[in-house]
Amino acid sequence: MKNSIAQLIKAQEIQKSINNLKKEIELMPLKREEIINKIDKTEKNNQSAEVEITAIEEEIVQYKKQIDKKNEEIKDLDLIDDDDLKSKNEREEKRKDLSMQIDNFNKKIEDCEEKKHKKIKSISSDKITLETLKAELIKEEKYIEENKQKKLDELASLEIKKKEILEGITQDIIDKFDRIIVNKGDIAIVPVYKNYCSGCNMILPFSLINRVKAQKEIIFCPYCSRMLYYEEEEIV
C-alpha cells in the first residue's frame, strides 16, 4: 500500500500538468474569438458612422435649401418699391428676421460639418485599428495552428505516463482519485500532519491517524473526502 500511495502522489503531480495543459488548449481559441469580436464591433461602428455621415450630409443640403429660400425672400423684399415709412420699417424688420434665420441655418451647417469631421476622423482611426486587429488575428491563428497539435500530443503523452504510474492500483481507487481531482481542484491525496488533514485543516480522530500511519489501506478524510498519507515532517 505504501507503493500505491507513492504512485498516487506522482500521478497527482502529472494530473496537475494535464489539467494545466487542458486549460491552455481550452483558452487558445478564446483570444482569437476576442479579436474577431473586436473586428466585428469596429466594422459595425464604421458602418454606423458612414450612415450617420450620409444623414448629416442630407441635413446640410436641407439647411442650404432653406438659406437659398430665405435669400430669395430678401431679394423679393428689395424689389418692392414703396415710399411709405411704415412699409419700409416692416420690410427692414422682415429683412433682419430673414438674415437671422440664415445665420441660424449657417450655424447649424457648421455644427453638422463638425459632427461630420468627427465621424470621418473616427472612421479613419477605426481603419487603423482594423488593420492592427487583422494582423493580430493572422498571428493568433498561426500560433494556434503551430501549437495546438503540440499541446494535444503532450497531453496524450502525459495521460499515458499517468496510466503507467498507476499500474497495479485497482480501478476503483483510480476512479475515486479522478473524481476527487475533479471536485477538489488538482488535489486528491494530501498528507496528514500532526493530527489534522492538510487538505481541509480539520482535526482527525487518532484512530484514523493510526490507520493512515499503518499504510495498509487507502484512507479518506471524513471531512473533505481526500485520500490521506502520513508525513513525518512539518509542512512549511
pLDDT digits (tens, 9 = 90+) for 51-71: 999 999 999 999 999 999 999
Instruction: For the beta carbon of residue 162, count every other beta carbon within 10 angstroms.
Output: 20
Domain total of the chain:
2
If asked whether residues 176 and 148 sit together in one domain, one would say no
Helix, strand, coil percentages, rounded to 5, for the chain? 75, 5, 15
If asked whether residues 51 and 158 sit together in one domain, one would say yes
What is the distance between the alpha carbons of residues 218 and 173, in angstroms, rounded to a whole number?
Answer: 8
pLDDT at 235: 42
Q: Does residue 235 sit within a domain?
A: no
Of the residues 117, 148, 165, which one is the last residue of a structural domain? 165
Of the residues 146, 165, 184, which one is the last residue of a structural domain? 165
Task: Give pTM, 2 decimals.
Answer: 0.65
Of the residues 150, 165, 180, which one is the last residue of a structural domain? 165
3-state secondary structure 124-180: HHHHHHHHHHHHHHHHHHHHHHHHHHHHHHHHHHHHHHHHHHCCCCCHHHHHHHHHH
Residue-number span of the structural domain to which 156 is assigned: 2-165
When the pLDDT of each residue in the chain is averaged and rounded to a whole number, the result is 92
Answer yes or no: are the C-beta atoms of 103 and 71 closer than 8 Å: no
